[in-house]
Amino acid sequence: MVTGGAGGIGAETAAALARAGANVVIADVPTAPLDKVAHELSAAGLTAVAHPVDVADEDSVRDLVRFTVDTFGGLDVLDNNAALTSAIPRDRDVVTMSVELWDEVMAVNLRGPMLLCKHAVPVMISRGGGSIINIASGQGLAGDRAMVAYGSSKGGLIALTRFIAAAYGEFGVRCNAVAPGLIRTPALDADMPPFVREAFRRDNLVPRLGTPADVATVVAFLASPAAGFVTGQVLPVDGGFLAHLPTMSPAAQSPPAPSPPAPARLC
């Protein structure tokens, strides 16, 4: 099950899981093109179905899990990818934060994954275990001057990841988080000025922006038996952005190579 699966990272993750052999349920808000994504995967010979969901609503989440079990007989992998990004332009600092905006972000980004875990974990335990992957963010690992609600929700999701891992590991349920850096999606290209993208690219140790496939391949790994001894972990997928001090990068450029010594002169 991939929430937020109708576009960007979610759609790429659904495709990666389907190519790995999974039967995939693509879940997203009813207005998203989730049927289109499911149809494209099915046309490629993969197994994918779509189902609408409001992750902030428990009845909707319960219905999604029930649909998954009824369709495929169980639930082995949950990718909590859905997040509220439309509020980001209004998500500034604490002093200007409205309670309504804070609650709106938390309802989707934190309550949503909690509800999905609440209803998915018992199904996974009944089948001997499963893997939950929560899509957090580098914003949840370090502070910034804006996006305080979004970053706080992702920090909370990282904590939730560890609590789920601690509580249900003995029942075979693994829970990990992926913390993407700046990932280049059509929405990002439309909304983010080129000079901002260039600033991120410059401060990445891998000198490019991330792609949805960079995140999807890590999710597929964490979902697989190859990651069977990995739980309670947070894996940054950020090109090394948080592995150094980006604000110091202009002062840390490699010094110019020394000039070769002058040839000796005979007297």
- Give 223-251 pLDDT, tens digit per residue: 999 999 999 999 999 999 999 876 655 54
88: tokens are 């980001």
Cβ neighbours around 196 below 10 Å, total: 12
Q: What is the pLDDT of residue 188?
A: 78
pLDDT of 265 strictly over 60: no
pLDDT for 257 equals 54
Does residue 76 lie within any of the structural domains?
Answer: yes
Going by C-beta distance under 8 Å and a sequence separation of 6 or more, which residues neighbour residue 51?
25, 26, 27, 34, 64, 67, 68
Cβ–Cβ < 8 Å for 24, 48: yes
Enclosing domain of residue 112:
2-237
- Quick check: is 225 in a domain? yes
Catalytic residue of the set 80, 113, 150, 185: 150
Report pLDDT digits (tens) over 244-262: 876 655 545 555 555 555 5
In a domain, 178, yes or no: yes
| pLDDT category of residue 181 using cuts at 50, 70 and 90 | very high
Annotation says 168 is catalytic: no
Tell me what pLDDT residue 267 has.
Answer: 41
Q: Is 263 among the domain residues?
A: no
pLDDT tier, 185 (very low <50, low <70, confident <90, very high otherwise): confident
Structural domain contains residue 254: no
Please tell me the predicted confidence (pLDDT) of residue 245.
77
pLDDT in tens, 71-102: 999 999 999 999 998 898 899 999 999 999 99
What is the pTM for the complete model shown? Answer: 0.91
Is 168 a residue whose pLDDT tops 70? Answer: yes
Do the domain assignments include residue 253?
no
The reply to whether 257 falls in a domain is: no
3-state class of 2 per DSSP?
A: strand
Number of domains observed in the structure of the chain? 1
CATH number of domain containing 178: 3.40.50.720
Averaged pLDDT score across all residues of the chain: 92
Looking at residue 194, its pLDDT comes to: 87
Q: Does 114 map to a domain? A: yes
